[in-house]
Amino acid sequence: MKKIKRIAVCTGGGDAPGLNAVIQAVAVSAANRGWDCFGIREGFNGILFPERYDGNGVIRLTRDRVRGIGHLGGTILGTTNTGNPMSFPMTTPDGKTSEIDRTGEIAAYFASHEIDALISIGGDGSLTIAEHLCEKYGMCVIGVPKTIDNDLDKTFTTFGFDSAVSFATECLDRLHSTAQSHNRVMVVEVMGRYAGWIALHAGIAGGAHAILLPEIPYDINKVANKVRQRSAEGRDYSIVLVAEAAHACGSGMEIKAPAEVGHQERLGGVGEHVARELGILTHKEVRSVVLGHLVRGGGPTAFDRLTALRFGSAAVRALDLGMNRIMVALGMLGVDYIPLSEVAGRMRTVPLDCDTLQTGRDLGISFGD
Ligand code: F6P
């Protein structure tokens, strides 16, 4: 077993509250073992494009550098969800575009700088790259699951999710009073690219009257019935929470916003669409609000901060114990270690029989089905 002396950490994909707490725990736990710790800037860009960072694409993460960052949102390293190094977009001299695998450059950097292991903090995309680096180049990599969307398999939760749900719930609390004062329907759209976890949890906690999830294609007439039923019972306002990937039954299609060149396709607009249709069907005043990146910004809740610190320290402990090619995860009894091959490329959507969903149904919330 190779003795660890130098490690690097990177953050990839969309940011999530708690990233800085993981970085802090990794750097301090490494320093306490006498290891050097480095941070790669903006995913792997610090290695792939050193010129962009004036030679500082990979920075030393000393104890001083990470002091006092655990409660801060975002990531001190920066992150990116474009330019996956496994399929990097490139324009050939004849103007054609193709994709190339640049992961060899990352492996070569680690070898030439004698960095023994990588701690890769990210979602599905980053964990797939992590598994590829182990598989193809024999690199030592530990994954740390991150996403506000909570859609990663084999972990009870990802850090960032609780912060997103807490903020969205607070927004719903605020919208209740204004919706009630004006007898309006408020349609609120929240993030959740492949799964409706944020909408489900915030919707139930925040007392939404209808929740539309990508897992349950909705019938707008059913949602309108719910609004009408509430009015008939003297509750002349309603809150409808819509996950950005929700879609009407029969359509099978999410609503997409125009994407910038080179960026992943963006979801967005379903809230406005639902609001328009509800206005026509119910003849009520309807307003739509998109929470968008507000649910991803800001600092982590205490739960997310603690989870992130536990994940960071568990990742370093895993390396100290000689583990490789695993993801740290939150199990029911503590931190688990799961083979990367079991999580890479796997998505965890809301199971239709989960008790949280049943809770919503018991409370009379409409899911548009
Ligand atoms: O995966 C996290 C996430 O916040 C999704 O919920 C959302 O669809 C996406 O990222 C938005 O990405 P961007 O910041 O590129 O708009």
- pLDDT, tens digit (0-9, with 9 covering 90-100), for 133-172: 999 999 999 999 999 999 999 999 999 999 999 999 999 9
Rounded distance, CA 130 to CA 59, Å?
A: 20
Does the structure show a pLDDT above 90 at 250? no
Query: 193 C-alpha vs ligand 1 centroid, how far in Å?
Result: 7
Query: 144 C-alpha vs ligand 1 centroid, how far in Å?
Result: 18
At residue 10's C-alpha, the angle toward residues 331 and 325, to 5°, is 50
**Ligand 1 atom nearest 193 alpha carbon:** 8
Set out the domains of the chain in order of their start, with CATH numbers: 6-159+300-342 (3.40.50.450), 163-296 (3.40.50.460)
- What's the predicted TM-score (pTM) here? 0.95
Rounded distance, CA 308 to CA 163, Å?
A: 12
Q: Is 74 in the pocket of ligand 1 (CB under 6 A)?
A: no
pLDDT of residue 256: 74
Strand partners, 240: 187, 210
Query: Active site includes 162?
Result: no
pLDDT of residue 260: 65
Q: Which residues are annotated as a binding site for ATP?
A: 14, 123-126
Strand partners, 60: 38
Query: 22 C-alpha vs ligand 1 centroid, how far in Å?
Result: 20
pLDDT of residue 335: 97
- Tens-place pLDDT, residues 198-216: 999 999 999 999 999 999 9
- Reported confidence tier of residue 247, pLDDT bands at 50, 70, 90: very high
- Reported confidence tier of residue 177, pLDDT bands at 50, 70, 90: very high
**Ligand 1 atom nearest 295 alpha carbon:** 4
Q: Whose CA is nearest to atom 5 of ligand 1?
A: 193
Does the structure show a pLDDT above 70 at 262? no
Does the structure show a pLDDT above 80 at 263? no
Residue 52 CB coordination number (10 Å): 12
- Tens-place pLDDT, residues 59-68: 999 999 999 9
